[in-house]
Amino acid sequence: MLDSVFIQIVISFVATACFGVIFNAPTKTIPACGLVGAVGWAIYYVMIDIGVDEVQASFLGAFVVSLVAYFFARKFRMPMIIFSVSGIIPLVPGGIAYNTMRNVMELDYIMGLQNGMRAFMISGAIAMGLVFAEVFMQIIFRLLSQGKTSMQSFMKSKKRSS
Amino acid sequence: MDAEHTEMAIDCFLLAGRIMIESGAETYRVEDTMLRMARSQNMMDAQSYVTPTGIIFSLGKTQPTRITSIPTRITDLHRIALVNNVSRKLTSHLISIEQAYEELKKIEKTNYFLPIAIQVLAASIASGAFLLLFNGTVKDIPAAFIAGGLGLYIVTIIHNMTRVKFFSEFLAAVAIGIVASAAIHYGYGIEIDKIIIGSVMPLVPGLLITNAVRDMMAGHFTAGMAKGAEAFLTAFAIGSGIALVLSF
């Protein structure tokens, strides 16, 4: 199993890095883009493997993608979107969307609706995961910087009084 | 501050906003960038209203409100990074507004895309990789490789020729369907579904879907709905192109 997870990570790294090229990410960030996608896919794959539903697994995958993208955005001093856009591509429910289209074409509207709802739920979960992680990080960093500045001002006032 | 200088500053902010929207940045980030740039130049009353198809920008009472329209949008992350860099430098007063405007003009004129051959190669490799991620068999990789590359190539070429995005995506999907069916017919592939899913991935509007929801969460319902509609039309074009081939 370890072997296959490792192979999955390598393949998703290659796929995401290629998407970085298609979306024209700055050249030096392309390996980082690949890494973001590989981490997100690894979380998703392990979650599916231990029996978590696709919707929850997509949410967790997107959440982690966003966290790693936030980290790289701070490191490279670039907008977060550069890293997160190609990172979520492996999680996009392409297969289910394809089946929806296929069902509708074969006039099987019941299955089509079922698959369509599923694709909608998964893409909603991905978007939620991305946004929640970003807001989460913003709150943490705001708290951290507030603590720092208030601490500094406290130290300053202490120095002044002494 | 004289009127001419202010005019130039507004031009600069509008250009920055326009390049960002054209390259696919989030709406709320564009508004934020423009306001930050304006505040760094002591224009505290600045207001901006950004939609995916146009920007309205005003400095308050003294100056007339300016608008700029945005006819086309593509995904070009390199430009977003460059404009972000200029805005960072301007807001920390490392460069003057004149220098920023010159840099933005240069960014607008330059084409930062890699050569089309490299993009097509990337799309081919990505299609092969996605085939494996979706549990496809190794035997199907050559078919996905060719179909994925061809799909991206057709989108780029037809889009440059006609400027109608949905038509080019439709044609690319038709081409992918034909290649996949031919591969199955001549015995070079096993599962047509997996080949098509893998090769269609480079056309999927991933950026649009993410940005649509992201903008809605930030309170930009107009932009969110517009981007959602664009994503839906793109998905519909791809789906109908594939469906057309499969129905024969």
Query: Which of B109, B140, B159 is the last residue in one of the domains?
Result: B109
Q: Residue B81 sits in which domain range?
A: 3-109
Pair B135, B236 in one domain: yes
- Are residue B64 and residue B17 in the same domain, yes or no? yes
Q: For A47-65, what is each residue's pLDDT tens digit?
A: 998 989 999 999 999 999 9
Distance, CA of B240 to CA of B65 (rounded, Å): 43
The pLDDT value given to residue A147 = 59
Domain ranges of chain A: 2-151
A10 touches chain B (CB under 8 A): no
Looking at beta carbons, which residues of chain B come within 8 Å of A116? none
Domain end position, chosen among B76, B109, B142? B109
Number of domains in chain B: 2
Q: Of B58, B92, B109, which marks where a domain is finished? A: B109
Residues B240, B148, single domain; the answer is yes
Given a cut of 60, whether residue A157 has pLDDT beyond it is no
Residue B245, both tokens = 């081939």
Q: How many Å from the N-terminal Cα to the C-terminal Cα in chain B?
A: 68
Indicate if B76 and B140 belong to the same structural domain: no
Contact residues, chain B, for A26 at CB < 8 Å: 77-78, 81
Q: Is residue B50 within 8 Å of residue B30, measured between CB atoms?
A: yes
- What percentage of chain A exceeds 90 in pLDDT? 41
C-alpha closest to that of B194 among A37, A42, A123, A99: A99
Q: Assess whether pLDDT exceeds 80 at residue A153.
A: no
* Mean pLDDT, rounded, of chain A: 86
Q: Tell me what pLDDT residue B6 has.
A: 86
Provide the ipTM: 0.86
pLDDT score, position B84: 92
Same domain, B68 and B134: no
Collapsed DSSP state (helix, strand, coil) of residue B69: strand
- How far is the CA of B56 from the CAs of B11, B43, B68, B69, in angstroms? 12, 16, 7, 9
- The Cα of B113 is separated from the nearest Cα of chain A by a number of Å equal to 6
Same domain, B130 and B93: no
CB B119 to CB A77 under 8 A?
A: no
**B182 shares its domain with B137:** yes
Per-residue pLDDT for A86 more than 90? no
**Angstroms from B194 CA to nearest CA on chain A:** 8
Do B63 and B81 lie in one domain? The reply is yes
Of A22, A26, A127, the CB nearest to B152: A22
Interface check for A85 against chain B (CB to CB < 8 A): the answer is yes
Please report the pLDDT score of residue B204 as a whole number: 82
Confidence of residue A149 (pLDDT cuts 50, 70, 90): low
Q: In angstroms, what CA-CA distances link A88 with A39, B9, B96, B203?
A: 10, 37, 37, 14
Residue A151 — very low, low, confident or very high, per pLDDT cuts 50/70/90?
Answer: low
**One-letter amino acid identity for A112?**
G
Q: Do B102 and B122 reside in the same domain of the chain?
A: no
Low-confidence ranges of chain B (pLDDT < 50): none
At a CB cut-off of 8 Å and minimum separation 6, what does A24 contact? B75, B76, B77, B78, B79, B112, B113, B114
Q: How far is the C-alpha of B23 from the C-alpha of B37, rounded, in Å?
A: 19
Q: With 0-12 CB in 10 A as exposed, 13-18 as middle and 19+ as buried, what is A82?
A: buried
Burial of B5 from C-beta contacts in 10 A (0-12 / 13-18 / 19+): exposed
Contact A19 B88 (CB under 8 A): no
Q: pLDDT value at position A46?
A: 92
B61 with B141, same domain: the answer is no
| B57 plus B16 within the same structural domain | yes
Q: Are residues B99 and B137 in the same domain?
A: no
Can you tell me the distance from the alpha carbon of B168 to that of A126, in angstroms, rounded to the nearest whole number?
Answer: 27
Q: Would you tell me which residues 3-62 of chain B have a C-beta closer than 8 angstroms to some C-beta of chain A? A: 24-26, 29
Q: Name the 3-class secondary structure at B68.
A: strand
Q: How far apart are the first and last CA of chain A?
A: 64
Mean per-residue pLDDT, A81-85: 89
- Write out pLDDT tens, residues A106-148: 889 999 999 999 988 998 898 889 888 988 888 888 888 765 5
Task: Look at A155 and B23; give whichever has higher pLDDT.
Answer: B23
